[in-house]
Structure 1
Amino acid sequence: MQIVLISGLSGSGKSVALKLLEDLGYFCIDNLPAALLAETVELLQSEAHKRVGISVDIRGVHSLPALPDCVTDLKARQLDVRVLFLEAKNEALLKRFSETRRKHPLSVLYPELTVTECMIMERELLATVAGMAHRVDTSDLSANGLRGWVRHWLALDQSRLTLIFESFGFKHGLPLDADFVFDVRCLPNPYYDPSLRGQTGRDLPVVRFLEAEPAALHMYADIRDYLQRWLPAFDHDNRSYVTVAIGCTGGQHRSVWLAEKLAAHFAAERQVLVRHREGSTE
């Protein structure tokens, strides 16, 4: 049985991810208390379900502390358990709550708290869950982009460490899901060439521009060698994912080029995913 556990912050896109699983043929359960997880899995196994998607989040706040031990027990039974944690910046979450006119789930228990205070409390309560999951920052992801990212994630071999290269623009803020952040704003910027301004770091003219710059090639070599040296330590630590974020000013040219170049290098020996935060993931 493959079990996909979806958790994360309220308003971060959990319902979009769970609906995708349902569309892909998973048997899905929303808002399951963590204390019932083991019992529910046993029942679903007896009914011969092969792929299951379960949402466990702050709505079951009282049983959340039981979740890490439940996941450990399920994995010990040789089940394919994958945990996805969706999060977003407070500004993005506030905008979504405003657009949908929904209350924060914690406001039912704590009516005296503002939405922002509820979000702060939620982050604290879910910190342990986030630490055991693959985290995705959905602040700048469309629903379609999130669906594409989840599809790619489901296709991964969970027994191997996945190296994720994520480009982003500093003017839009740091990504929440990064393990390493490299700043490449010091490199020559193709944006100032009018013929390149509308292109991205995946387009050949931009690639040629940057690969003609010694500083860009030195930056690439330094980051490549740094990761090559330290990734084995993450293998020994039994990590499932390492996210390397590459940032330039707008997240369109330099960071995209470097993320693609690093991904191409490491794909020869590792499981690699690429995400360009300021553009489509598909």
Structure 2
Amino acid sequence: MQLIIISGLSGSGKSVALKVLEDGGFYCIDNLPTPFLPQIAGYLQEDGHDKIAISIDVRGGPSLDAIPQQLDSLKAQGVDVRLLFLEAKTETLVKRFSETRRRHPLAISSLTVTEAIGLEREMLAGIGDLGHRIDSSDLNANTLRNWVKTVVEMDQSRLTLIVESFGFKHGIPLDADLVFDVRSLPNPHYVPDLKPLTGRDEPVIDFLQAQPEVREMYQDIEHFVARWLPSFVKDNRSYLTIAVGCTGGQHRSVYFAEQLGKRFSEEQQVIVRHRELS
């Protein structure tokens, strides 16, 4: 049985993720109280369901602390369990609640929305690192759907290496484990013919590969990742996200993400994604 647990901050896109899985043939349950997770999973498995998705969030209260132990127990029973944790920047979440006129589940009379989001982060702090994190701050719904599909399709028994490009002017991705800054390198943005292109286009690739600094930076990053990746594999990590950032997230970071993705796909299952291009 494959069991996907969806959790994360209110307003970060959990409903979108759950709908993606429902459309993919999963039996879905929203807002399940945490104490019922083992019983419900066992019942549905006995009832013949082999693909289940369950959304659990801060409304579960103090019982959230039991999730790590429950996941370990289910894995010990042979269940393919993986957790998908969605998050977003506070300012993004505040804007979303304002636009939809929804009330934050923790925004009681004595708490503002911002304070409620802060409290929610604290309550979920022990869950985020249990699985794959997705920062939905700068993603539209369609891009989020595609990212969820890609993650769910990966082989859980192996580490999934995610290489993501981004632009520093839009902030560092919250889901990044390792961050590399390539803003000091020559910028194709200032070459008129290259400005409208991206780091996936041949003219930009040729321009960057002709720069000695670019080659040296790439070698340093490649060597660092190659040196320490076995440690993450040995630590039984399911996911490792490497984020490479330039100013706008269009040229240099995209080029580096693509090249690193090609290099490490020889030995790991790799997802390459570009936050700003999406």
Question: Where does residue 175 of structure 1 map in the other structure?
Answer: 173
CA shift for structure 1 position 64: 1.0
Give the counterpart of 2:139 among 135, 138, 141.
141
Question: What is the CA–CA distance in structure 2 between the aligned matches of 1:132 and 1:193, rounded to whole Å?
Answer: 43
* RMSD between superposed Cα atoms in Å: 0.7
Question: What is the CA–CA distance in structure 2 between the aligned matches of 1:25 and 1:253, rounded to whole Å?
Answer: 38
CA shift for structure 1 position 45: 1.1
Identity %: 60
Question: What is the CA–CA distance in structure 1 between the aligned matches of 2:109 and 2:29, rounded to whole Å?
Answer: 27
Question: Where does residue 40 of structure 2 map in the other structure?
Answer: 40
Structure 2: unaligned runs, 5 residues or longer: none
Provide Cα deviations, 1:194-214, integer angstroms capped at 9, x if missing partner: 111111000111001101111
Question: What is the CA–CA distance in structure 2 between the aligned matches of 1:161 and 1:42, rounded to whole Å?
Answer: 27
Alignment of 1:92-131 (within 5 A): 92-107=92-107, 110-131=108-129
Alignment of 1:1-282 (within 5 A): 1-107=1-107, 110-280=108-278
CA shift for structure 1 position 73: 0.5
Question: What is the CA–CA distance in structure 1 between the aligned matches of 2:95 and 2:272, rounded to whole Å?
Answer: 27
Provide Cα deviations, 1:75-113, integer angstroms capped at 9, x if missing partner: 010100010000000111111101100010012xx3200
Question: What is the CA–CA distance in structure 2 between the aligned matches of 1:46 and 1:240, rounded to whole Å?
Answer: 27
Question: What is the CA–CA distance in structure 1 between the aligned matches of 2:238 and 2:86, rounded to whole Å?
Answer: 16
* Matched positions, count: 278
One-letter amino acid of the counterpart of residue 202, structure 1: R
What secondary structure does 1:54 align onto? strand
Provide Cα deviations, 1:174-227, integer angstroms capped at 9, x if missing partner: 110111110000000000011111110001110011011111011111000011
Question: What is the CA–CA distance in structure 2 between the aligned matches of 1:147 and 1:33, rounded to whole Å?
Answer: 25
Question: What is the CA–CA distance in structure 1 between the aligned matches of 2:258 and 2:52, rounded to whole Å?
Answer: 33
Question: What is the CA–CA distance in structure 2 between the aligned matches of 1:203 and 1:105, rounded to whole Å?
Answer: 45
Question: What is the CA–CA distance in structure 2 between the aligned matches of 1:111 and 1:44, rounded to whole Å?
Answer: 39
Question: What is the CA–CA distance in structure 1 between the aligned matches of 2:92 and 2:137, rounded to whole Å?
Answer: 6
Question: What is the CA–CA distance in structure 2 between the aligned matches of 1:12 and 1:105, rounded to whole Å?
Answer: 13
Question: What is the CA–CA distance in structure 2 between the aligned matches of 1:192 and 1:163, rounded to whole Å?
Answer: 32
What secondary structure does 1:67 align onto? helix
Structure 1: unaligned runs, 5 residues or longer: none
One-letter amino acid of the counterpart of residue 185, structure 2: L
Question: What is the CA–CA distance in structure 1 between the aligned matches of 2:104 and 2:155, rounded to whole Å?
Answer: 35
CA shift for structure 1 position 62: 3.1
One-letter amino acid of the counterpart of residue 221, structure 1: Q
Q: TM-score, normalised by structure 1?
A: 0.97
